[in-house]
Amino acid sequence: MASFLASSRVPMSVVMVLFTLASLMGSSLGNFYQDFDIVWGDWRAMILNDGELLNLNLDQASGSGFQSKNEYLFGKIDMQLKLVPGNSAGTVTAYYLQSKGSAWDEIDFEFLGNLSGDPYILHTNVYSQGKGDKEQQFYLWFDPTADFHTYSILWNPQRIIFFVDGTPIREFKNMESIGVPFPKYQPMRLYSTLWNADNWATRGGLVKTDWSQAPFTASYTNFNANNSCVWFNGSSSCDTNNFSPPSWLSEDLDSANLDKLQWVQTNNMIYNYCTDAKRFPQGFPPECNMS
């Protein structure tokens, strides 16, 4: 493109716009150098392959983690992960959106390790104004350590949907109308960490981390936040009069995806706070009574 522009009589202002667009298109492919900062673990977090791959490592001294450079206020965000293989008992790989402050909002994927041959547990939760307690847990229908799989969050003003390889596994609707807080006012960064939680992660803490297997490694690639509203200096990239609102800002599950959601929740859900009567002896949270 540079040689073409140099040989043609294109105004410099147009040249700069074209190069800016080219740069943005390049970053949209998910370059970890451009999109993330390493925030924990020193050398245990490594960006490889010219920014196309990121590895987090855990040893007995420390885990590791990273965070997005951008903050988002709504978005459709994808990341491909390959989880810790083998005996991952005691380890947790967390991948989540979170805002700042004591009354924070948060949307969680957490992958709880297990003994070799036993399935990972995918733990999900939603926090609003610092309060969560909305856990649902699932077994995956594949080995998440053998290859990369895509874990996605759709977050718009009406709902939050968790996806695995494009299949919805959980929907949390905005039910502010019945007094249930919903995260829609605070911008959030994307974080991921790999850490030791053997006091609770595997069988309630009965199975401890086997440090002879360290270092433990989780890998990331193909980050995509093209369909998102970036929050910068108090304003959103979606607040513009030049473009119509993107479709994902009002996206819902169609009938086919509702069927997929029902299949996963029937066959793969292993815990739902909305059915835990021992935990809520005075009655379930109000959102649990909504269809």
pLDDT in tens, 148-170: 999 999 999 999 999 999 999 99
The dihedrals phi and psi of 221, each to the nearest 5 degrees, come to: -155, 170
For the four alpha carbons of 192, 193, 198 and 199, in that order, the dihedral sign comes to negative
- pLDDT-derived band at 242, boundaries 50, 70, 90: low
- pLDDT greater than 80 at residue 57: yes
Per-residue pLDDT band at 197 (split at 50, 70, 90): confident
Residue 139 belongs to some domain of the structure: yes
Percent of the chain past pLDDT 90, that is, above it, reads 79
Query: Residue 126 falls within a domain, yes or no?
Result: yes
d(CA 234, CA 258): 36
- Catalytic residue, from 52, 71, 106, 287: name it: 106
Binned at pLDDT 50, 70 and 90, residue 276 comes out as very high
Dihedral (Cα; 193, 196, 201, 204), 10-degree rounding: -160
Q: How confident is the model at residue 17 (pLDDT cuts 50, 70, 90)?
A: very low
Q: What average pLDDT does the chain have?
A: 89
> Is residue 163 included in any domain, yes or no?
yes
- 23 assigned to some structural domain: no
106 is catalytic: yes
Whole-angstrom Cα distance, residue 28 to residue 54? 16
Of 111 and 25, the one with more pLDDT: 111
9 found inside a domain: no
Asked, for residue 264, whether it belongs to a domain, the answer is yes
User: Is the pLDDT reported for residue 250 higher than 70?
Assistant: yes
Catalytic residue among 52, 71, 110, 171: 110
Q: Is residue 19 part of a domain?
A: no
Residue among 158, 124, 155 nearest 139 (CA): 124
Please tell me the distance from the alpha carbon of residue 138 to that of residue 2, in angstroms, as a whole number: 50
Please count the structural domains in the chain: 1
- Strand (E) or helix (H) holding 188: strand 188-196
What average pLDDT does the segment 134-154 reach?
97
26-40, 172-186, 207-221, 249-263: least confidently modelled range: 26-40
Looking up residue 96, the CATH number of its domain turns out to be 2.60.120.200
Q: Given pLDDT bands bounded at 50, 70 and 90, which one contains residue 263?
A: very high
Q: Say yes or no to pLDDT of 177 above 70.
A: yes
Structural domain including 128 reads 34-238+246-288
Whether residue 10 lies inside any domain: the answer is no
Kindly indicate the confidence band of residue 267, based on its pLDDT and cuts at 50, 70 and 90. very high
Would you state the pLDDT for residue 80?
98
Tell me, what's the pLDDT at 244?
A: 76
Q: Is the pLDDT of residue 243 over 70?
A: no
